[in-house]
Amino acid sequence: MKPATRPHALKTTVVLVGLMGAGKSTVGRRLAKSLGVEFRDSDDEIAAAAGCSIPDIFRTYGEAMFRDLEQRVIERLLREERPLVVATGGGAWMNPVVRQSVHGHAVSIWLRADLEVLLERVSRRNTRPLLAQGDKRDILCRLMNERYPFYEQADIVIDSNRDHHENVVTSVIEALESKQHVG
């Protein structure tokens, strides 16, 4: 099922949260296109601001510096005059300042996925700094245990398992419509 481009206007920025591999960037691009708004990936914005890749930021400056840049970039995106669709990095939502800012200026959507789905998706690329430090399954299990209680605080939860991304986009649009974030 392919989502139709909606004639409705997005009323507020949509921020996608979830673990790496949940589909935030892929679903975000398609969602933005369906809603006729701009898509921004916070990791791309961070890399552009820093002038180097995310792995290079982690390697050279450490995770603490990355998280500081991430918070500042997300806060800047939330101040945009027009609504956007924003995909965040998997750890962004762990920051209470980011959660508070998103809750105050946007609608948050957790793209939830099972371990096997995440493993299959993240195994396609070797560009994820947190997965370079050991067994991917073990790391993802640990991250799920740590982060899922925080992701549950999102305004909307959408399952992003083995369904086609177009179906996930349709589910997101239906959830946004039901909560009157588009109209």
pLDDT per residue as tens digits for the range 65-109: 999 999 999 999 999 999 999 999 999 999 999 999 999 999 999
pLDDT value at position 3?
47
> Does the residue 1 lie in any domain?
no
State the DSSP H helix or E strand holding residue 84, giving kind and residue range, or none if neither. Answer: strand 84-87
CB neighbours of 167 closer than 8 A, spacing ≥ 6? Answer: 1
pLDDT value at position 127?
62
Q: Give the whole-angstrom CA distance, residue 26 versus residue 60.
A: 28
State how far the alpha carbon of 178 is from the alpha carbons of 41, 175, 183, in Å: 25, 5, 10
pLDDT value at position 6?
46
Q: Give the whole-angstrom CA distance, residue 58 versus residue 37.
A: 31
Backbone angles phi, psi at 56, to 5 degrees: -65, -40
pLDDT value at position 164?
84
Nearest by Cα to 84 from 113, 104, 105? 105
In the DSSP assignment, the letter for residue 10 is B
Q: In CATH, what number is assigned to the domain containing residue 119?
A: 3.40.50.300
> Does the residue 99 lie in any domain?
yes
Domain limits at 61? 13-170
pLDDT lower than 50: segments of the chain: 1-6
Specify the number of domains making up the chain: 1
> Does the residue 180 lie in any domain?
no
